[in-house]
């Protein structure tokens, strides 16, 4: 009996990531979830990691090649445990995507508390660091094939963006870290790149109101991206098609920023 006869999804046997093992954080929804689906379509086995394991399990139900792991990226021990589980399951790790993130409270700078600032940095910057470190530890054992790490930043790291200071600060930090680690791990054949999406239709983007209008209308395409459109860029950076890219930022942003 094949997968479709059991009511499940078909497992891809070929594809651009055939034989690869990946770990994706922020996998319960939005860009992380779209990335999990895209990777599976391209033949990868995927560890789908999120704070909300139940929502992740529901979202990826039917995929034989996905393992769901609950972890809070603010806690390095939980991140390390998720990588250990993925390695135990797959025997190797080739790709890591760091999409877990929060936008934080929206308030005037004078009303932001220390905790408001620290919360966003803990998830978006420290959480990404813990995951990058665990990914490098796992991939160094792959020599000579190495691996690919993709960090999800934001167009808010590249240009003015209507969110409080800690969000663009965290996402600019991700870009700095991406370049620093890329240089350090290049001898291990591990590539580290970033994606800096513009407005993308996920739970994070308000469905209406001033913020949505501002971010959508500043892009010359005058629309938000779908999560799948961002996953296409992540797939490119994860695959061997981007073999000459490291320390780079690709920004699918609908013309919000033009260099
Ligand atoms: N939506 C946009 O317009 C946009 C634009 C630029 C960048 N981004 C970035 O894209 C990434 C994905 O966001 P999204 O838009 O898909 O939103 P989303 O809210 O749908 O997805 C974020 C996921 O991260 C998970 N998460 C949050 N905190 C976590 C933690 N401490 N540990 C583990 N998982 C945690 C959430 O449960 C959720 O599943 C984020 O890093 C976000 O900053 C989004």
* pLDDT tens digits, one per residue of 126-185: 999 999 999 999 999 898 899 999 999 999 999 998 889 999 999 999 999 999 999 999
Distance CA 41, CA 231 (A): 12
What token pair was written down for 83?
Answer: 């990588």
What are the sequence ranges of the domains in the chain?
Answer: 21-250
- Long-range CB pairs of 104-110, under 8 A, 24+ apart, other chains included: 104/163, 104/164, 104/166, 104/167, 105/164, 106/163, 106/164, 106/211, 107/164, 109/164, 109/165
Binding pocket residue ranges, ligand 1, CB within 6 Å: 25-26, 28-32, 50-52, 72-74, 99-102, 123, 127, 152, 154, 197, 199-200, 202-205, 227
How many angstroms separate the alpha carbon of residue 98 from the centre of ligand 1? 9
1: pLDDT strictly greater than 80: no
| Test site for ligand 1: of 28, 104, 154, 204, most ligand atoms within 8 A of the Cβ | 204
How many angstroms separate the alpha carbon of residue 31 from the centre of ligand 1? 7
How many angstroms separate the alpha carbon of residue 53 from the centre of ligand 1? 14
Q: Locate the ligand 1 atom nearest the alpha carbon of residue 201 and give its number.
A: 1
Catalytic residue among 83, 167, 245, 256: 167
**Whole-prediction pTM value?**
0.95
DSSP state letter for 186: G
Band of residue 207 on the pLDDT scale cut at 50, 70, 90: confident
Q: Locate the ligand 1 atom nearest the alpha carbon of residue 156 and give its number.
A: 6
Tell me the mean pLDDT in the region 86-109.
Answer: 97
Q: What architecture is domain 21-250?
A: 3-Layer(aba) Sandwich (3.40)
Q: Locate the ligand 1 atom nearest the alpha carbon of residue 227 and give its number.
A: 16
How many angstroms separate the alpha carbon of residue 5 from the centre of ligand 1? 34
* pLDDT tens digits, one per residue of 105-127: 999 999 999 999 999 999 999 99
DSSP state letter for 239: S
What pLDDT is stored for residue 173 in this prediction? 98
Q: Whose CA is nearest to atom 38 of ligand 1?
A: 26
Mean pLDDT, all residues of the chain? 93
Tell me the mean pLDDT in the region 71-77.
Answer: 98
Does the annotation mark 83 as catalytic?
Answer: no
What pLDDT is stored for residue 4 in this prediction? 36
| Test site for ligand 1: of 202, 211, 231, most ligand atoms within 8 A of the Cβ | 202
Kindly report the length of the chain: 259
Distance CA 78, CA 117 (A): 22
Q: Whose CA is nearest to atom 26 of ligand 1?
A: 100
Question: What's the longest Cα–Cα distance across the chain?
Answer: 62
- Long-range CB pairs of 46-51, under 8 A, 24+ apart, other chains included: 46/21, 46/22, 47/21, 47/22, 47/23, 47/82, 47/85, 47/86, 47/89, 47/90, 48/24, 49/23, 49/24, 49/25, 49/73, 49/82, 49/100, 50/25, 50/26, 50/100, 51/100
What token pair was written down for 1?
Answer: 């009996």
Half-sphere exposure of 154 (CA within 13 A, CB side): 27
* pLDDT tens digits, one per residue of 7-32: 334 444 579 999 999 999 999 999 99
* pLDDT tens digits, one per residue of 180-206: 999 999 999 999 999 999 999 999 998
How many angstroms separate the alpha carbon of residue 30 from the centre of ligand 1? 7
What pLDDT is stored for residue 13 in this prediction? 56
Q: Whose CA is nearest to atom 25 of ligand 1?
A: 26
């Amino acid at each position: 009996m094949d997968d479709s006869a059991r009511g499940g999804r078909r497992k891809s046997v070929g594809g651009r990531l055939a034989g690869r093992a990946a770990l994706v954080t922020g996998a319960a929804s939005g860009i992380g979830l779209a990335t999990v689906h895209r990777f599976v379509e391209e033949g990868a086995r995927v560890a789908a990691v999120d704070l909300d394991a139940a929502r992740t399990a529901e979202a990826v139900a039917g995929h034989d090649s996905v393992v769901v792991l609950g972890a809070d990226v603010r806690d390095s021990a939980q991140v390390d445990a998720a990588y250990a589980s993925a390695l135990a399951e797959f025997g190797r790790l080739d790709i890591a995507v760091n999409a877990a993130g929060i936008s934080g409270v929206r308030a005037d700078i004078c009303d932001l508390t220390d905790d408001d600032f620290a919360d966003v940095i803990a998830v978006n910057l420290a959480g990404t660091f813990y995951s990058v470190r665990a990914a490098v530890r796992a991939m160094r054992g792959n020599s000579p094939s190495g691996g690919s790490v993709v960090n999800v930043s934001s167009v808010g790291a590249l240009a003015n963006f209507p969110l409080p200071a800690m969000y663009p600060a965290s996402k600019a930090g991700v870009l700095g870290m991406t370049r620093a680690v890329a240089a350090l791990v290049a001898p291990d054949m591990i590539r580290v790149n970033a994606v800096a999406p513009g407005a993308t239709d996920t739970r994070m983007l308000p469905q209406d109101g001033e913020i949505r209008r501002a971010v959508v209308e500043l892009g010359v395409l005058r629309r938000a991206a779908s999560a799948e459109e961002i996953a296409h860029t992540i797939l490119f950076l994860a695959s061997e098609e981007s073999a000459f890219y490291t320390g780079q930022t690709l920004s699918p942003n609908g013309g919000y920023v033009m260099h």
